Amino acid sequence: MKVLRIFIFDIVAPAVIIGWLLWKYPEQVSALIPWLAEGVLCHLTIEVFETSFLKTRLNAVFERGGTRFMIWILVFCLGGIVSTAYWFSIQKGLAKLASLNKVHEPTTEKQPGKPLPPNAPRSFVELEEAKRRLEFDPDKVTLHDLFATDFSSSETVYPQTWHLEALSKPKIDIESIVAWRLSEGTELIAFYIPYTKETHDICVSWVAHHFKEIMQDKHKFGVEQKIPGQSPQLSASNLMFPNRIYVYHEAYIAPEEEVDLKNVFKNLGIQVILRSSDFLANRRLEAKVKLLEKKN
């Protein structure tokens, strides 16, 4: 009966509760996992030493080992060594899992990731709805809305979604926009990365390696335009890239990761402009001010 109680209440029930919490609140609970694992291992160790066989043997050893004080000192030291060993084992195991879980690059150089059909992530209706929120309902504007609308005024826009595979995780879908502002003679590129802990790795291992290829791939369309009062005719082949990349990201990037990320792009001669929650807050405030000015 005791074995059944231990199995149900000490193993099955905690596993179900922790599994449910991880499913509902993964980001909040994940930081507690090492401590929970330490607690479970220590508890199981105590249960093992509580068995009658080991208890009889240990009592016999302790009775020959000296005073009660010395026994407590010995138990305290052994317990500290065991719990420390558990902790380092847990940390080493999690570090190994993290290294296996890094976003890996696509295997082909010709096709960076698996693209969805162009324009798939954003229909005309969705774009118009994003513009409407920005103009009339600033509190509901999302970072993705800004990513969609910030480049919509360009004469030619190529949006696309890319599937990036991560080991032992669902696919991560990020979006890219190549915008041609023919009247200015410039070509811009921006990326949107949804909430993921892999934001830094995606930028460093994927965006930095493939943004040029994505831009060059759009040149095959060969769009040309004649600007009134301006000569000669402009085309994609003579657009200027200002060596700037815009990255809209939902997840927080630690300061040291941000420095490393910017240094990676700096070594490529590129300035990366990160836009996240603070950028969203400022744009919402600007939109609210404009809305109040219209009402007045």
Return the pLDDT at 103: 45
Q: Within a domain: residue 106?
A: no
Same domain, 83 and 155: no
Residue type, 289: V
Q: CA angle, corner 117, sides to 135 and 177, nearest 5? A: 45
Whether residue 136 is found in the same domain as residue 207: yes
Q: Is there a single domain that holds both residue 139 and residue 86?
A: no
For residue 94, what pLDDT band results from cuts at 50, 70 and 90?
A: low
Domain extent, residue 43, equals: 2-100
Q: Does a structural domain hold residue 93?
A: yes
Q: Is residue 172 part of a domain?
A: yes
Flag whether pLDDT at 23 surpasses 50: yes
In a domain, 155, yes or no: yes
Structure tokens at 78: 């052994």
Strand-pair partners of 3? none
Let me know whether 129 and 209 are in one domain: yes
Domain annotation covers residue 105: no
Instruction: State whether 195 and 227 are in the same domain.
Output: yes
Shared domain check, 124 and 63: no
Specify the amino acid at residue 166: A
Mark whether 160 and 250 lie in a shared domain: yes
Distance of alpha carbon 183 from alpha carbon 226, whole angstroms: 9
Q: How many domains does the chain have?
A: 2
Tens digit of pLDDT for each residue in 257-290?
999 999 999 999 999 999 999 999 999 999 999 9
- Asked whether the CA dihedral 70, 72, 78, 84 is positive or negative, the reply is negative
Contact 165, 104 (CB under 8 A): yes
What is the predicted pLDDT for the residue at 65?
57
In a domain, 134, yes or no: yes
Instruction: List residues bridging with 240 in a β-sheet.
Output: 186
- Where is the domain boundary, 46, 69, 100? 100
Q: Are 45 and 142 within one domain?
A: no
- Secondary structure (3-state) at 162: strand
The verdict on residue 169 lying in a domain is yes
